[in-house]
Structure 1
């Protein structure tokens, strides 16, 4: 008999939906950690508006740059730019490794951001390299090191996030990662599945 008054056999007999509902009821949403639902909806709306405005501005700006930027350009602070970027990348890799070693949820954002930085590193290395051995080295470095590591750093935490969502009853096991909702109480489905908890000490 478990502390909930349910036997292992009774829990195994539950459907997947009933078990998820039981998990939700055993882990109610904490109070005092988030803003009010109305405030959060307002913030969410304005964030979406800002993102859409950024997209609307970036499209013509990209077209403009494609038509006006010179093919060759002498850059300032070339050494400081790349050394500073590598220091940032090294810092992110170190923090990601520490978070992974200590099993902290900070692993998720840091690993994803580090993967994106590695993709950027590979892109700019290849695009700014001179033809010949320099370009070949950049392509090999991107294909054999930076891009595979970026895939591991991005895909791994995404799979862990999906596992956590399934483990805590937020989604069905078959739901794809891009369909997993943010764990907000108002996004959970209505609790329509009854869960009966057996009294461990029924009256005689």
Structure 2
């Protein structure tokens, strides 16, 4: 692999290392709770991304277009993010159970993508 092709990978590795102390700072400084403006828009936005990703993957896949792998990967990432936020923002009891069940379904979607 040439040096020209390696530098983006070196930058990614550096970003991974630099994110560790940043996560420690966040863990120590972020409040336990917060009020969020535009909450519905944030959640609907994730679902719009997932629907668009599913549609694009299906469209490209049915045409035999190799780019379906790219949209499938992006859609799987959105499904994992959606599941993460569902679980971490749910309450205890029934809401958490529902979030966990949805996460299983989203993991199935992510795994199939």
**Mapped pair 1:149 → 2:109:** yes
Measure how far apart 1:41 and its partner are. 2.7
**Counterpart of 1:65?**
26
Higher helix share: 2
Question: Bigger relative contact order, structure 1 or 2, given CA contacts below 8 A and separation 6+?
Answer: 1
Does the CA-based 8 Å contact 2:49-2:75 persist in structure 1? no
Measure how far apart 1:113 and its partner are. 1.2
- Per-residue CA shift, 1:179-201, capped at 9, x if unaligned? xxxxxxxxxxxxxxxxxxxxxxx
The list of structure 1 runs, each at least 4 consecutive aligned residues, that deviate by more than 2 angstroms after superposition, is 40-43
Measure how far apart 1:125 and its partner are. 0.2
Structure 2: tracts of 5 or more residues without a match: none
Partners of 2:37 and 2:3 in 1: CA distance: 42
Measure how far apart 1:56 and its partner are. 2.0
Measure how far apart 1:107 and its partner are. 1.1
Partners of 2:12 and 2:94 in 1: CA distance: 41
Q: TM-score, normalised by structure 2?
A: 0.91
Partners of 1:75 and 1:122 in 2: CA distance: 19
- Per-residue CA shift, 1:96-147, capped at 9, x if unaligned? 011111111011111111111111111110110111222111111112x111
User: Over alpha carbons, which structure has the higher Rg?
Assistant: 1
**Counterpart of 2:77?**
116
**Mapped pair 1:44 → 2:5:** yes
- Per-residue CA shift, 1:11-44, capped at 9, x if unaligned? xxxxxxxxxxxxxxxxxxxxxxxxxxxxx83431
Measure how far apart 1:79 and its partner are. 1.0
Partners of 1:119 and 1:127 in 2: CA distance: 12
Partners of 1:81 and 1:99 in 2: CA distance: 27
Partners of 1:132 and 1:49 in 2: CA distance: 44
Q: How many residues matched?
A: 113
Measure how far apart 1:57 and its partner are. 1.3
